[in-house]
Amino acid sequence: MFEAFAAETTGTAVDTAHGAAHAGGIWAQPETWVAVSFLVVVGFVVLKTWRRVLDALDQRGHRIRKELDDARTLREEAQALLAEYELKQKQALKTADDIIEHARVEAERQRKEAETNLEAAIKRREKQAEERIAQAEAQAMREVQGEIADIAIAAARQVIAETMDDRRQDAMVDATIQDLPNRLH
């Protein structure tokens, strides 16, 4: 094995020059190291910001879960009110049986009116709860999207600021100017 290595290193000058050009392969190219550095920096930024994004999403999820629990509580209260009104309705019907026919007709009218009002009240409460939930979800999504955008902008600024010096900036401007005729045609 060492003999093969020694034979490779003691070749002619042409072989040495040719071998020197390819000795490092892709790892001898500065562009490779720039790309590797860029990927490492981007990976680091993603790792650092990903936790913040996940934490923000978890907080929004907890808030939405709490609002859903509140809505469930409102619904249970509405069901309790319904049960209470149904109990009162039964008592009113017992009393109505003891009253003359005219009073019975009046009690029936009042029962129907109470049922309609109760259903309307329940529907209003359910609608209000659904609207609150929808508003909370929309607000949470807007806040999460805003935070994600802010984090991404800050990360991009930081990466550009860390990787861009005057020499690279001048090189990029020169390369763009040279490439301009190709892009115009």
Q: Among 65, 59, 62, which Cα is nearest to 133's?
A: 65
pTM of the model: 0.29
Give me the domain span that covers residue 61. 42-164
CB under 8 A, 24+ apart: contacts of 140-145: 140/60, 140/63, 140/64, 143/56, 143/60, 144/56, 144/57, 144/60
Residue 185 lies in a domain: no
Is 48 contained in some domain? Answer: yes
Query: Is position 128 within any domain?
Result: yes
pLDDT of residue 106: 80
The total number of structural domains that make up the chain: 1
pLDDT at 176: 84
pLDDT tens-digit profile, the chain (185 residues): 445 444 444 444 444 444 444 556 888 899 999 999 999 999 888 888 888 888 888 898 899 999 999 999 999 998 998 999 888 888 877 776 667 777 667 868 888 999 999 999 999 999 998 999 999 999 999 999 988 888 888 888 787 777 777 787 788 788 888 888 887 76
The SS3 of residue 25 is helix
Is residue 31 situated within a structural domain? no
Q: Do the domain assignments include residue 112?
A: yes
From CA 89, how far away is CA 30, in angstroms rounded? 86
Whose tokens are 């003999």? That residue is 3
> First and final CA of the chain: distance in angstroms?
55
Q: Indicate whether 178 belongs to any domain.
A: no
* Whole-angstrom distance, CA of residue 156 vs CA of residue 148: 12
Residue 183 within any structural domain of the chain: no
Q: According to the model, what pLDDT value does residue 119 have?
A: 92
What is the model's pLDDT at position 173?
A: 81
Q: Is 4 among the domain residues?
A: no
DSSP letters, 77-134, are HHHHHHHHHHHHHHHHHHHHHHS-HHHHHHHHHHHHHHHHHHHHHHHHHHHHHHHHHH
Q: Which pLDDT score, from 0 to 100, does residue 10 have?
A: 47
Helix (H), strand (E) at residue 40: helix 30-98
